[in-house]
Structures are given as structure tokens and as C-alpha cells.
Structure 1
Amino acid sequence: MAPPSLRATMHVPNEIVEDIFVCVPPDNSALLLRSALTCKRWARLFADRGFRRRYSQSHGKAPILGIIANLTITGGVARFIPTHGFCPARDERHGYRAHDARHGRVLLNRLTEASDAPQGQGQEPSALAVWNPITGEQHQLPLLKRRRQVHSWNAAVLCGAAAGACDHVDCHRGPFRVVFVGIDAKQIFSHVYCSDSGALSEKATTAPLQDDQLECSTPPCPAC
């Protein structure tokens, strides 16, 4: 038999590849990205949920890909600033600022003076949107219909999986929920948006507020 070609490459089993790259420290996630670009097999391996879960369990946390900042020089527009080699297809969300971030998703709040935010046919831009920086997907939330002016509000984006069904290692592609809490001249109210149904829950309210329970002189302070 003819000797094997010197150009022939040795096939390393996926299990051994995992054992090697699971040792890469989280502060060097750029090495994982460069390795994923080596071949399609490695890219599929690193993108697999099993590898990411094993990597997270080995190091106690998932690698930090970047931070979300509201840039004052652009009027508060949200921008993804990478900490290592990862870079999303679009690092800015024109017309929106970051309001909250959890489990790989960012809750965006539309800037009132912006005119270039995504719009639906015949509709004004959505006030809130959920952005996935990894996939680039942006999900517009329906507008809240309020008869009275909202004096103060806050909102958060959460994993939408059932309790105990998700370890929050790789849930950025799964369902999500947005909890919205506000206060008007009469009461405190809340809504929950569920991505599975694509609808807001019915309004839940507290007992009517007394005159001395509402202080409108302090502007709302949204979480960033």
C-alpha cells in the first residue's frame, strides 16, 4: 500500500476537541472565536448547546462578549462594545437606548426625538423592543394603550422558560418575557409580555393611590 499523503490531516474526535477548548479561560473568548473560524466542524461544535453548557459549568460562568452602553455623544443611542473578538453584525440600535439586559437579550427604549426607528405599516414606532446582539434579531413589543399619562415606569426582560426548565446558560434563543410596571395619577399598574403568545397580559392594578402617596416632582430613573 502507498504511504499516506503528507497533506492528509488527522481526524481528531469531537470529544477530544471539546476537552481541549473547554480549558480556554473565559477572559480569552477571542481564541474560541478564531478557532471556530478554522473549519465548519469546529464552528458547529462550539455553537452546540452541549459544549456551551459544559464550558459554563467548567468555569462557573459564560464568557463576557461585550457591554451595552448608551453613548451620550449620539444622544443616548445604544451600542454594543465588544470586550474580545466577538462583534455583532450591527453594533448600534439607531433610535433606541438600552434600558435593561438579561440572559443574552437587551430591552430597548425608543428615543422620543428619533425618527429612524423601525416602524410597522401605518403604525408609529414601538416604544419598547427586545434585541438579541448575538443573532441580530430585534423584536418589537406592542404599544401600551393608556388613557392617563404615565408619571413613572420601569421594565425588565427575563427568560420565558418555565421555572427550573432553563439553566440560563444558553437561553437567548428561547422564549422571553418583559415585565412592565408603571404609575399614573390614580394607581400602580403592570403588564407582562410573553414572546410565545406575542401579546400583553391584562392590566393588573393595585388599590387606588391616596393623594399623599404619589410624588410627581422626581423624574423617573430608568435602569440601564
Structure 2
Amino acid sequence: MLATVAIPDDIVELILLRLDSLVSLVHAATTCKQWRRVVADAVFRRRYRSLHGPPMAAGTYHNGERFERPHFVPSPSATIDGRHFSLDFLPDDTYCIWTVRDCRGSLLLLDRLQLQPGNGGGYSNLVICEPLARRYEIIPPLSTFANCVQLGAFILVDGDDNAEEGCDGMSNFRVLCVVHGHYKTRAGMFTSGSSYWREETFYSLWASIVGLTARSIYLYMNEGRVISMDLRTSEFSNFLLPSIIEGWDEDDRIRHRMTITAGRDNKERIVVVHFGCKVKVYARLDGGSCGAEWALEKTIEISEAMGGVHRHNRDWDLIQTASLSLHRAGSVLIQQEQGGSSRAKCFRLDVETREMELLPDHHDMKVEVPLSPTLRACIDHDDGDGDALCILVSSLYI
């Protein structure tokens, strides 16, 4: 009998990189332990993603009516059974209002407002879940004070802004939440496996989120003060908005007129909608750290960026990014009211190329086909269960 000669891992990797179907790749991973090990390797996944693009979106979650759970709508290009993404495994929702707050990779973050019949009160919890694995975790509230307003809640990932590489399912996640009430703003970080928030408190009459990038979140604290939080180190810093900025004032609409983003060079940009028809971009000068060291970088006429498409005589507003999955370096989200019963159209404006892209409803949250968690599960089950898991997940898409 001829001896079996093992194919070196680097040759197997070159072969598997040529597969252009996610389903084929999952099937290949069920062939043997060696192939599973190659496909599940982080370096391989980065190379595969760079060659074939991001994972396919399985579909989107839409928030329902008052007491309805969010429902899943499969993507037309994804041949999957939407029932596998149902949220019927979550806790009893009697007198509950569920709202999707964020989606990252295969994880979904929801706000669960439990109403108390009779007195009109209630309390809120964040719930993070992985629909395909039918697992969830209830996160304790960041603040137990009444009348606190949740400014935002986000799923964070480790490493670069790459959802597939940083998100390891329910075993490894971080949640950022910002609330304001009683003249206090609390920013807290919750980590999987923990039972408490690491939080920081700031005193301010009011606060608003005015920017979210892959590295930082920005909070406007009134009187021109902006506090930024490094999402990787949880360290805080602050600066004053430069006096040269035009087109905004101290009122409750500042979040619709100004946002802070990061360019492709990872440097901060302050973007302001001026008179509802043009965008001004301010960049921090090299070595600058205070408000006086910013300069106007460019002015963009929105009508010119539109190229004559969807022109209306209505003002434009900025939209604060509600999820890191929506963030793109060098870009901001803007919308223009349509009037009547029509919903506002959302666009992504690239402030570097001056190009605009019409987006689907930015309130809908896309969930990705969870390739990497599945393959990691396969490796963890060398007794044969891993093959069964891979085959089961593959069957969802074919």
C-alpha cells in the first residue's frame, strides 16, 4: 500500500484561497482537520477577505411595532432560511419593547425596555445575542437612575476595524454605552465574562454623540468642549472646538450640523453642514492639539456632489453614525428630508473624493454570515462534532 503524503499547509492555503464561494470554503473545512486548521487561521482569513471582499450579509433586522420583536429579512442574494435567525429564543417579552441598537459580525445588540403595567414606569437592559447559535447574555444597566437617556450603545471589536477578525462570537465582545441624566454623562465599557461596567463620569448640562470612528467616540459636552474616548485603551482626552468653525451654534441641533470623523490617514476631521447646502471640512494641523490649530481643509457644495441626482430645495442634515459597521474612513452620513410622508434618504458622502452614495435605511442592521465563529467551533470539537457543526451551518445557505 502506498503511503499517504501530506500536502504542506502553504500549498493547501493557496488552493483554498482560489475558492470564490463562502459555502465551498465551509464545505472544504469539513474535509479534514488540516484543512479546518488552515481555513480557521487568522492570517488565512485576512488574505481570503482581501481577495474576495467582506463576508456575505445574511440579511437585516428591522425594528417592529411597540411590542413586536425585531424581525429578520434575508438578503435576496443569500439563499438561507430566515427562521435560523429568529429571535424567539430571547427572554419572555410580555410588556417589553425591543430595539436593535447595533450589529457587528454575527452579534446583535438590543435594548429591552421592560414596562411596568399600572404605573407607566419601566427599566431597561441591554441584551447581546448570537442568533445563529441561539445564545444571549443580559447586560446589567449602566445607570439605575430614573430619567437617564441612552445616547448610544455599540458593539466594539478588538484589533483593526475588521469585524470578522475582531469579533469572536459570544466568547469575546465589548459593549460601549453612553447615558446622560441628572447633569451627568456616563461612558461605560462592558466586557464579555465580566459582571460590571468600567465607567467614567463627566458633569455637563447636556451631552450628545458627535462622532464615531474605528478608534474613537466623540461627545459634545456644551460650551465648545469635546471629549474623545479611545475605544482600544478606554482613555479620555478633550479639546475645544476651534473658533473658526462656522455653521453651528449652541442648541439641541448641533448633532445634525456637526460630526467628527477620521480620514484615510487616521487624522481627525470636523465636518460641518453650512447653511444646509454645503459641507465644510476642518483638519487639525500637524502637531496641533488645541482648538486654535485647526484649519479649513475644503468646502463641498452638496448639489455638485449629487451630480444632479435627487436635487431638492431642502436643507441637508448630518446623521451621527449609529454603528461601527456603518463607518467608513473619510466619509460622513447625510440626509435630506423628502417632505410629506416620504422617509428621508440617507447618503454617504466621501469628503475626500466628494462622491455620494445612496444607502438603504440606516436604521436597519445587517448581520453577516458567521464564517469564523463556525470554523473555530469546528476546531474545538476534534471528536467529530466539529464536522457536524460545519455541515449544519453549511446547510443554512444551500
TM over 0.5: yes
SS at match of 2:176: strand
User: 1:181-205: per-residue Cα shift (whole Å, max 9, x none)?
Assistant: 2344x43623312316542133523
Within 2, Cα distance between the matches of 1:148 and 1:66? 38
- Residue matched to 1:52: 45
**Larger proportion of strand:** 2
Query: Do structure 1's residue 202 and structure 2's residue 199 form an aligned pair?
Result: yes
Q: What corresponds to 2:177 in structure 1?
A: 180
The Cα offsets for residues 80-117 of structure 1, whole Å up to 9 and x where unpaired, read as 8476477899522235543212354321222647xxxx
State whether structure 2 residue 64 is matched by structure 1 residue 67. no
1:190 match: 186
Query: Match for residue 19 of structure 2?
Result: 24
Q: Deviations over 1:114-148 (max 9, x none)?
A: xxxxxxxxxx9971122245655433211233333
Task: Give the letter aligned to residue 138 of structure 1.
Answer: Y
Ranked by relative contact order (alpha carbons within 8 Å, sequence separation 6 or more), the top structure is: 2
Look up the SS of the partner of 1:101 in the other structure: strand
- Aligned-pair distance for 1:69? 1.2
Q: Quick one: structure 1 residues 29 and 126, their matched pair in 2 at CA, closer, same or farther if it must change by over 3 Å?
A: farther
Q: Residue 178 of structure 1 contacts residue 194 of structure 1 at CA under 8 Å; is this kept in 2?
A: yes
Contact 1:177 1:193 in 2 (8 A): yes
Q: Partner amino acid for 1:207?
A: S
Percent of matched pairs sharing the same residue: 22
Pick closer, same or farther for the CA change 1:141–1:109 going to 2, 3 Å: same
> Residues of 2 paired with 1:105 and 1:179: CA distance?
14
The one-letter amino acid paired with 1:29 is L
TM-aligned CA deviation for residue 29 of structure 1: 1.0
Which TM-score applies when normalising by structure 1?
Answer: 0.64
SS in 1 for 2:185: strand
Residue matched to 1:116: none
Say if 1:10 and 1:202 are closer, same or farther in 2 by CA, change over 3 A: closer
- How far off is 1:158 after superposition? 1.0
User: Given the superposition, is the C-alpha separation of residues 45 and 86 from structure 1 closer, same or farther in structure 2, using an over 3 Å criterion?
Assistant: farther
Q: CA RMSD in A?
A: 4.0
- Hey, what does 1:91 align to over in structure 2? 85
Q: Secondary structure at the match of 1:155?
A: strand
Counterpart-to-counterpart distance in 2, 1:38 and 1:58: 22
Question: Against the structure 1 CA distance between its residues 179 and 21, is the aligned structure 2 distance closer, same or farther, given a 3 Å change threshold?
Answer: same
Contact persistence 2:174–2:191 (CA under 8 A) = yes
Give the residue type in structure 1 aligned to 2:152.
N
CA distance in 1, matches of 2:189, 2:22: 33
Give me the whole-angstrom Cα distance separating, in 2, the residues matched to 1:93 and 1:51: 32
Distance change (3 Å), C-alpha of 1:142 and 1:87:
farther
The answer as to whether partners of 1:179 and 1:190 remain within 8 angstroms in 2 is: no
Unaligned runs of 5+ in 2: 116-121, 207-221, 223-249, 254-321, 323-362, 365-398
Query: Number of residues paired by the alignment?
Result: 194
Q: Which structure 1 segments of 5+ residues have no match?
A: 114-123, 216-221
Deviation at 1:23, TM superposition (A): 2.1
- Structure-2-length-normalised TM-score: 0.40
- Partner AA of 1:204 in structure 2: T
In the superposition, relative to structure 1, how do residues 176 and 53 fare at CA in structure 2: closer, same or farther (>3 Å)? same
